[in-house]
A = this chain, B = another copy of it.
Amino acid sequence: MLRSWAQALRQAVQSITRSGLMSLASLATVSVSLLVLAVVACVAVNLNLMARELESQLEIRAFLRDGVNPAARQALIEQIQALEGVRSVTFISKEEGLAMMRERLGEQRWILEELEENPLPDSLKIELADPHQVVAVAEKVAAFPQVEKVRYGQGVAEKLLAVTRAIRIAGLAMVLLLMVATVFTLANTIRLAVEARRREIAIMKLVGATDWFIRRPFVMAGILLGMVGAALAAGLVYMGYQYLVRFLVTNLPFVPVAPPAELMQPLGSGLLALGALLGMVGSWISLRRYLRV
Contacts and interface: CB of A to CB of B under 8 A. Distances in A.
A32 B192 contact: no
A212 B25 CA distance: 26
A120 to B, nearest CB: 6
A115 B107 contact: no
B116 A25 contact: no
A251 B163 contact: yes
B119 A247 contact: no
A99 interface: no
A162 interface: yes
Interface stretch (A139-147, A183-191, A203-211, A216-224): A183-191
Interface string A1-36: 000000000000000000001100100110011001
B192 A22 contact: yes
Interface in A168-189: 181, 184-185, 188
B166 A21 contact: no
Nearest to A151: B110
Nearest to A28: B184
A223 to B, nearest CB: 20
17 contacts: A22-B192, A22-B195, A25-B185, A28-B184, A28-B185, A29-B185, A107-B153, A107-B156, A108-B153, A111-B119, A114-B121, A116-B119, A163-B251, A192-B192, A192-B195, A195-B196, A196-B196
Interface in A101-154: 101, 106-108, 110-111, 114-116, 119-121, 149, 151, 153-154
B107 A111 contact: no
Contacts of A156: 106-107
B107 A154 contact: yes
A111 B281 CA distance: 61
B166 A25 contact: no
A134 B29 CA distance: 46
B32 A251 contact: no
Nearest to A121: B114
Nearest to A157: B107
A25 B26 CA distance: 13
Given A107-B155, A115-B115, A166-B251, 10 more contacts: A22-B188, A22-B192, A28-B181, A32-B33, A32-B181, A32-B185, A107-B151, A110-B149, A163-B251, A192-B196
Given A21-B191, A166-B251, A191-B25, A101 B111 contact: yes
